[in-house]
């Protein structure tokens, strides 16, 4: 065996031709250029996806913060387009409020709520029902025996399930709310306003701070 051992070959040793080294440098530079060019676009795509995933929801707390502004709200809610409502509402809110859908029984946020306060329209924030006129109908939907006197809801007959029913909607924005049934003899009116929770926002009594809402909620003004 020879005492002289050959050293491992290097990509840049004398055995590699100049053309090979030049080709490797060209490939390495091309990879660097492509990585710089692509990175900003990938970041931009990620931001776009994140923005599109934000659901347009309104919480009860946001309702309490905005209700004082609604007393001077001049918006013509009945003129708002379907596309605009889809931007303002969650898919479930749009399905029920704008397309006359119905939420599943016992699934809504307010069906068994006993909190004291006022229920607003989720679309336009108009006060519609009061908790003092809410009762347990054991049907799985929030039930009221009358709407608020100062916020009458609209009514019309529909035949969506094959027989006539009295549909209830917000008279300010035409949002579908539910139906009226004459099956509550235990109430002062004998009526049951069967309302979808998803159509409502709840405003606790102590958050009814505007002078108009205090009057509607039978709270003495300061």
Active site residues: 194
CA distance 156 to 179: 9
Task: Of 199, 197, 217, 205, give the one whose Cα is nearest residue 117.
Answer: 205
The answer to whether 81 touches 87, Cβ cutoff 8 Å, is: no
3-class secondary-structure state, position 79: helix
Contact 174, 154 (CB under 8 A): yes
DSSP character for 113? -
Residue 50 CA neighbour count, 13 Å, CB half: 6
Residue 133 CA to residue 143 CA, distance in Å, equals: 9
CB count, 10 Å around CB of 9?
10
Nearest-angstrom CA–CA distance, 84 and 67: 21
């Amino acid at each position: 065996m020879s005492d002289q051992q050959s050293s491992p070959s290097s990509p840049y040793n004398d055995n590699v031709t100049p053309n090979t080294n030049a080709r490797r440098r060209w490939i390495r530079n091309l990879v660097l250029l492509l990585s710089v060019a692509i990175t900003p676009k990938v970041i931009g795509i990620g931001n776009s996806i994140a923005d599109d995933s934000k659901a347009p929801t309104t919480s009860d707390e946001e309702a309490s913060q905005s209700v004082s502004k609604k007393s001077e709200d001049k918006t013509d809610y009945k003129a708002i387009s379907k596309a605009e409502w889809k931007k303002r509402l969650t898919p479930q809110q749009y399905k029920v409020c704008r397309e006359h859908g119905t939420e599943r029984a016992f699934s809504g946020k307010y069906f068994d709520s006993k909190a004291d306060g006022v229920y607003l329209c989720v679309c336009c924030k108009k006060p519609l029902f009061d908790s003092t006129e809410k009762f347990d109908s054991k049907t799985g939907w929030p039930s009221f025996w009358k709407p608020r006197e100062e916020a009458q809801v609209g009514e019309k007959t529909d035949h969506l399930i094959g027989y006539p029913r009295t549909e209830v909607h917000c008279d300010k924005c035409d949002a579908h709310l539910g139906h009226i049934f004459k099956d509550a003899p235990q109430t002062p009116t004998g009526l049951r306003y069967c309302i979808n929770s998803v159509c409502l926002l709840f405003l606790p009594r102590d958050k009814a701070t505007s002078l108009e809402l205090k009057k509607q909620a039978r709270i003495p003004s300061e």
